[in-house]
């Protein structure tokens, strides 16, 4: 192995043994007899109702900071907190890190820039992009404002795994956070997980909910707003070289395909013209474009909706690629992959100490507890994000990070984007570490200290 | 003695000149001041009232000026006209100070007749030659977003000043339709006066003939411009007039190119046309272009409709203006980032002040794209935020009956 594993580092999922001692030392085909040491009673039917018996959960881990979710926000939180020497545990539902930025194929890193094309998001996100920079086919269009960088999903998974293995963070993958653990006063004490190892508990002083859907704070009883919006499924298409070259690398330049001249002729009203534009955006991988999908409106917290989307989107994407192949020059285009994760945009939005509203961003509100910026996005200018939008209004010991922070729908539609999740994740991680160091609650964290720490870690606060 | 007698006139002229600048600038917190200023010309007030078949505020003042100048020859020119004041001073510095132009025919009278007859046909042909209109135009220069617009708004007054420096007072005395109109009023009053006193000598045949030809010319020009000038505008699919504009076949004639609307627009989206959009008949008339960054026809503004002196732009209150259809937004899906799966973009939907654009999921095509509904006024909010370059995927086009 190229890298040495830090003691107490990554654990194989479902096992308490460190990674270094598991796969290599076990012979394949070895069978062990299950001794039924733990008595597990399945759910039973009582009076026609399915009942799960009350039972004690094994405690998998005791930690200072528990980060639920290994996407952009969760990884940023874990890395930044661990750097302050605090004990950090990270739990991720899928088998890789990066969340929607890797598994969701949201490869475009926007919004990074303000109206004047100046980059306003740095910190952990900038570090990650720098690491991608040195990789071949890792990232394109860096520092080419207003064109946004595009990353490669596999390169990003590699960078995160590499950093995590070296970080000393305890991580559990393929492990789904399903419930909160609260004390008698309702303060969060950890979270419950479901994995191949069964239902287990992780106890923690502070929990960072970077699950995207706010699963943990919702389970803990924090107030939230539930929203429904479009759910899509991103895909990558290959052999799309020619088209890609015509449009330029991920730029927003547009050439009309029919005439070769820019946008000639009056579009017809109320009719969809025959779509023969340059589908998708180029990625670091040669001859490969990523193809975004808006998708219909759905409930991201409803398994029936999610299932329908997973199936229909894959059928629809295949059909669209077939249509694409009918255009001259596109005969060899193929569907490289559909994203492993659905493109869920928003589900739960926290009721935080401060709810970031569209009025705030229109009026260019300045916050004393600013923890970072979002770049300008479409007609919204760059705006400040306050620490208050990460802190639940009532429940203690939990912080939100990523797309499920406290913002109204229109703002959340921007704060859900990848680089902004890095910003809120890093701030949540440092705030949690401060809670441990200063022995205080998240709502009482010294904003000055937090801002100083953020600046030390290279974040941009204006 | 002559010198002393002139002082009061100079003082009045100077006061009027300063007053004109104050009105047009406008320094006053009186939004319609530029309109009132141009309407102070009886030529404009009369012609536009005839052409629009309506009574405007300016008519009151116009009647006073008309009566006064029928008793004191060219009273308006001598005391009130700021353009006259400017040109008179220019002529003192100019090359020719002789009265060589006295041999020239009184073109201004025929221009006035021609325009008034045209106004009866709904198309006051040469109303843009009015001196107050020409004086008002260069004040729009601070809202000009390109060099061509700067040249266009300064063209009228620039030509007059340059012409006066070279040829002396030719314009004021012989060409200006407002002075020609005053001359006619004076002559008319005199003729009536004499008729009351004595039996009048029959007018010279030559004059009557010229008047007839000028009138006939005005009628013909008006008909020609309304038919052919109107036909030419169809060559452009992107001709957008400011809110409140009367139908295109009358707009180019009613608009006198005073550029008050250009001056009034806080978004700087109105500019004089080079003739590219609406042909020769539309040269210099205002068009809308959504080009500058994030500037569109604001839902909080109706300034341009308040300053038009001729009614080419009907005065609209804010509510009416927000219902006025400037054009229609149309989407080219082959440029749209969302339709092509390029970007997570809904800029047009979010920018629309009227909820007229919705990114809509098409289950058949399995793509999403912006759909524009009937609430669209063509304000351009979506066009200016659309991120595609060089051509925007959503653009405002001249409205066509569907």
**Weakest-pLDDT range from B49-63, B139-153, B220-234:** B220-234
List CB contacts of B154: < 8 A, sequence separation 6 or more. B137, B138, B141
Share of chain A above pLDDT 70, in %: 85
How much is the pLDDT for B197? 66
Q: Does any domain span residue A15?
A: no
Task: Round to whole Å and give the CA distance between A381 and A395.
Answer: 32
Assign B297 to helix, strand or coil. Answer: coil
Q: Do B228 and B329 fall into the same domain? A: no
Q: Does any domain span residue A66?
A: yes
Report the gap between the CA of A370 and the closest CA in chain B (Å). Answer: 25
How much is the pLDDT for B69? 83
Average pLDDT (A30-49) is 74
How much is the pLDDT for B232? 57
- Cβ contact, residue pair B365, A272, below 8 Å: yes
CATH code for the domain in which residue B362 is found: 3.30.70.20
How much is the pLDDT for B217? 78
How much is the pLDDT for B83? 92
Which helix (H) or strand (E) is B22 found in, with range?
helix B2-24
Range of the domain at B352: 325-402
pLDDT tier at A402 (50, 70, 90 boundaries)? very high
DSSP 8-state secondary structure symbol assigned to residue A248 = -
Q: Do A157 and A292 fall into the same domain? A: no
Task: Round to whole Å and give the CA distance between A179 and A240.
Answer: 44
Task: Round to whole Å and give the CA distance between B72 and B78.
Answer: 10
Please write the tens of the pLDDT for every residue from A257-281. 444 444 557 787 765 655 666 788 8
Q: Do A234 and A170 fall into the same domain? A: no
Q: Which neighbouring-strand residues pair with B402?
A: none
How much is the pLDDT for B111? 87
Q: Do A100 and A246 fall into the same domain? A: no
How much is the pLDDT for A400? 97
Q: Do A324 and A251 fall into the same domain? A: yes
Give the number of beta-carbon pairs within 8 Å between A and B. 122
How much is the pLDDT for A281? 86
Question: Residue A104: its chain B contacts at CB < 8 A?
Answer: none
Average pLDDT (A134-138) is 95
Looking at B175, B210, B232, which one is the last position of a domain? B232
How much is the pLDDT for A34? 60
Q: Do A208 and A191 fall into the same domain? A: yes
Closest A-chain CA to B346: A378
How much is the pLDDT for A264? 59
Question: Residue B365: its chain A contacts at CB < 8 A?
Answer: 272, 275
Q: Do B336 and B202 fall into the same domain? A: no
Q: Do A129 and A214 fall into the same domain? A: yes
pLDDT tier at A12 (50, 70, 90 boundaries)? very low
Span between the terminal Cα atoms of chain A, in Å: 43
- Which residue among A267, A296, A417 places its CB closest to the CB of B332? A267
How much is the pLDDT for A13? 41
Looking at A285, A309, A344, which one is the last position of a domain? A344
Looking at A344, A373, A400, which one is the last position of a domain? A344
Q: Does any domain span residue B176?
A: yes
- Cβ contact, residue pair B333, A267, below 8 Å: yes
pLDDT tier at A22 (50, 70, 90 boundaries)? very low
Q: Beta-carbon neighbour count of residue A198 at 10 Å?
A: 13
Q: Which of B327, B367, B380 to mutate to test the interface with A (most CBs of A within 10 A)?
A: B367
Please write the tens of the pLDDT for every residue from B108-164. 888 888 888 888 888 888 888 999 999 999 988 888 888 888 999 899 999 999 988
Positions of E strands within B109-161: none
- Which residue among B237, B389, B392 places its CB closest to the CB of A266? B237
How much is the pLDDT for A10? 41
Is the Cβ–Cβ distance between A243 and A277 less than 8 Å? no
Average pLDDT, chain B: 84
Report the gap between the CA of A149 and the closest CA in chain B (Å). Answer: 12
List CB contacts of B96: < 8 A, sequence separation 6 or more. B166, B167, B168
Is the Cβ–Cβ distance between A66 and A91 less than 8 Å? yes
Among A225-229, B216-220, B271-275, name the most confident range. Answer: A225-229
Among A114-118, A145-149, A168-172, B271-275, name the most confident range. Answer: A168-172
Q: Do B228 and B353 fall into the same domain? A: no
Share of chain A above pLDDT 90, in %: 73
Q: Does any domain span residue B12?
A: yes
Question: Residue B343: its chain A contacts at CB < 8 A?
Answer: 108, 110, 252, 281, 292
- Which residue among A106, A262, A276 places its CB closest to the CB of B390? A262
Please write the tens of the pLDDT for every residue from B245-282. 998 878 888 899 999 999 999 999 999 988 778 777 78
Q: Quote the tokens at residue B124.
A: 């006051």
How much is the pLDDT for A387? 97
Looking at B232, B264, B280, which one is the last position of a domain? B232
- Can the peptide bond before residue A59 be classed as cis, meaning omega within 30 degrees of 0? no
Q: DSSP of B201-254, one letter per residue? A: PPPPHHHHHHHHHHHHHHHHHHHHIIIIIHHHGGG-S---PPTTBPPHHHHHHH
Share of chain B above pLDDT 90, in %: 27
Q: Do B333 and B207 fall into the same domain? A: no
Closest A-chain CA to B381: A379
Looking at B203, B232, B261, which one is the last position of a domain? B232
Q: Which chain B residues have any C-beta within 8 angstroms of a chain A C-beta?
A: 237, 294, 328, 330-347, 350-351, 359, 361-363, 365-369, 371-372, 385, 387-393, 395, 397, 402
Is the Cβ–Cβ distance between B392 and B335 less than 8 Å? yes
Q: Does any domain span residue B292?
A: no
How much is the pLDDT for B227? 67
- Cβ contact, residue pair A379, B342, below 8 Å: no
- Which residue among A275, A292, A413 places its CB closest to the CB of B333? A275
Average pLDDT (A219-226) is 96
How much is the pLDDT for B313? 93
Average pLDDT (A402-416) is 95
Q: Does any domain span residue B52?
A: yes
Domain count, chain B: 2
pTM flag (> 0.95): no
How much is the pLDDT for A261? 47
Domain count, chain A: 2
B275: left (phi over 0), alpha (psi -120 to 50) or beta: left
Q: How far is CA A304 from the centre of its chain?
A: 22
Please write the tens of the pLDDT for every residue from B89-115. 888 887 776 777 777 888 888 888 888
B307: left (phi over 0), alpha (psi -120 to 50) or beta: alpha
**Helices first, then strands: H and E counts in chain B:** 19, 6
pLDDT tier at A245 (50, 70, 90 boundaries)? very low
Range of the domain at A247: 230-263+274-344
Average pLDDT (A181-196) is 95
How much is the pLDDT for A270? 60
Average pLDDT (A64-82) is 97
Q: DSSP of A252-274, one letter per residue? A: -B---TTTSSTT-SPPPSSSPPP
- Which residue among B330, B369, B389 places its CB closest to the CB of A252? B389
Does the pLDDT of residue A87 top 50, yes or no? Answer: yes
Q: Which of A379, A383, A409 to mutate to test the interface with B (most CBs of B within 10 A)?
A: A379
Q: Do A339 and A350 fall into the same domain? A: no
- Cβ contact, residue pair A294, B335, below 8 Å: no
Report the gap between the CA of B353 and the closest CA in chain A (Å). Answer: 12
Please write the tens of the pLDDT for every residue from A276-332. 667 888 899 988 999 999 999 999 999 999 999 999 999 999 999 998 888 777 888
Please write the tens of the pLDDT for every residue from B303-353. 999 999 888 999 999 999 999 999 999 998 888 888 888 888 888 998 899
């Amino acid at each position: 192995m190229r890298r040495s594993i830090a003691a107490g580092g990554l654990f194989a999922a479902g096992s308490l043994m460190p990674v270094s001692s598991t796969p290599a030392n076990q012979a394949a085909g070895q069978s062990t007899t299950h001794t039924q040491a733990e008595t597990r009673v399945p759910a039973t039917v009582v009076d026609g109702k399915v009942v799960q018996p009350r039972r004690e959960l094994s405690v998998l881990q005791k930690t200072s900071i528990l980060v639920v979710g290994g996407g952009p926000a969760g990884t940023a939180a874990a890395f930044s907190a661990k750097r302050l020497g605090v004990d950090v545990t990270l739990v991720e539902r899928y088998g890789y890190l990066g969340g929607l930025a890797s598994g969701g194929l949201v490869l475009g890193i926007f919004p990074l820039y303000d109206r004047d094309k100046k980059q306003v998001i740095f910190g952990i996100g900038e570090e990650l992009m720098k690491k991608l920079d040195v990789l071949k086919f890792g990232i394109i269009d860096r520092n080419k404002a207003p064109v946004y960088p595009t990353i490669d999903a596999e390169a990003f998974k590699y960078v995160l795994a590499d950093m995590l293995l070296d970080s000393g963070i305890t991580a559990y993958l393929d492990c789904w956070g399903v419930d909160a653990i609260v004390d008698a006063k309702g303060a969060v004490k950890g979270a419950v997980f479901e994995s191949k190892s069964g239902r287990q508990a992780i106890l923690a002083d502070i929990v960072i909910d970077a699950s995207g859907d706010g699963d943990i704070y919702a389970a803990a009883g924090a107030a939230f707003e539930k929203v429904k919006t479009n759910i899509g499924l991103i895909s990558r298409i290959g052999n799309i070289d020619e088209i890609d070259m015509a449009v330029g690398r991920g730029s927003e330049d547009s050439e009309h395909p029919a005439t070769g001249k820019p946008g000639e002729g009056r579009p017809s009203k109320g009719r969809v013209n025959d779509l023969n534009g340059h589908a998708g955006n180029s990625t670091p991988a040669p001859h490969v474009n990523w193809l975004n999908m808006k998708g219909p409106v759905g409930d991201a917290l409803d398994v029936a909706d999610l299932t329908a989307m997973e199936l229909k989107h894959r059928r629809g994407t295949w059909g669209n690629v077939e249509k694409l192949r009918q255009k001259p020059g596109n005969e060899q285009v193929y569907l490289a992959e559909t994203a492993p994760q659905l493109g869920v945009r928003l589900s739960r939005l926290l009721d935080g100490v401060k709810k970031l509203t569209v009025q705030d961003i229109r009026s260019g509100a300045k916050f004393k507890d600013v923890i970072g910026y979002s770049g300008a996005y479409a007609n919204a200018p760059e705006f400040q994000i306050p620490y208050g939008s990460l802190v639940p209004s009532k429940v203690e010991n939990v912080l939100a990070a990523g797309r499920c922070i406290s913002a109204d729908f229109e703002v959340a539609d921007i704060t859900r984007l990848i680089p902004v999740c890095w910003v809120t994740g890093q701030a949540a991680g440092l705030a949690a570490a401060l809670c441990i160091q200063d022995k205080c609650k998240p709502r009482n964290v010294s904003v000055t200290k937090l801002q100083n720490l953020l600046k030390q870690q290279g974040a941009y606060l204006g | 003695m002559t010198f002393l007698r002139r002082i009061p006139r100079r003082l009045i002229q100077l006061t009027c000149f300063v007053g004109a600048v104050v009105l047009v600038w406008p320094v006053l917190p009186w939004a319609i001041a530029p309109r009132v200023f141009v309407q102070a010309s009886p030529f404009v007030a009369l012609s536009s009232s005839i052409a629009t078949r309506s009574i405007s505020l300016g008519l009151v003042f116009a009647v006073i000026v008309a009566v006064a100048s029928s008793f004191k020859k060219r009273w308006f020119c001598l005391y009130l006209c700021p353009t006259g004041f400017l040109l008179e001073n220019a002529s003192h510095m100019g090359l020719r100070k002789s009265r060589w132009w006295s041999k020239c025919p009184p073109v201004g009278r025929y221009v006035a007749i021609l325009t008034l007859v045209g106004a009866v046909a709904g198309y006051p042909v040469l109303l843009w030659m009015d001196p107050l209109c020409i004086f008002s135009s260069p004040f729009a220069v601070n809202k000009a977003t390109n060099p061509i617009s700067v040249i266009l708004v300064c063209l009228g007054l620039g030509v007059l000043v340059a012409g006066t420096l070279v040829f002396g007072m030719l314009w004021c005395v012989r060409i200006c339709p407002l002075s020609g109109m005053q001359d006619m009023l004076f002559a008319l009053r005199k003729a009536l006066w004499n008729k009351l006193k004595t039996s009048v000598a029959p007018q010279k045949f030559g004059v009557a003939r010229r008047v007839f030809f000028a009138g006939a010319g005005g009628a013909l020009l008006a008909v020609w411009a309304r038919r052919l000038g109107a036909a030419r505008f169809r060559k452009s699919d992107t001709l957008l007039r400011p809110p409140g504009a009367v139908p295109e076949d009358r707009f180019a004639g009613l608009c006198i190119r005073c550029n008050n609307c250009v001056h009034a627009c806080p978004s700087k989206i109105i500019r004089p046309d080079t003739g590219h959009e609406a042909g020769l008949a539309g040269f210099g008339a205002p068009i809308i272009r959504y080009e500058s960054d994030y500037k569109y026809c604001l839902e909080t503004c109706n300034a341009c409709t308040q300053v038009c002196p001729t009614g080419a732009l009907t005065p609209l209150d804010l509510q009416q203006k927000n219902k006025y259809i400037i054009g229609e937004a149309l989407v080219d899906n082959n440029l749209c980032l969302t339709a092509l799966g390029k970007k997570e973009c809904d800029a047009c939907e979010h920018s629309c002040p009227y909820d007229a654009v919705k990114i809509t999921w098409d289950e058949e095509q399995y793509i999403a794209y912006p759909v524009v509904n009937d609430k669209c006024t063509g304000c351009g909010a979506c066009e200016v935020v659309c991120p595609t370059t060089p051509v925007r995927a959503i653009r405002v086009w001249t409205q066509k009956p569907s």
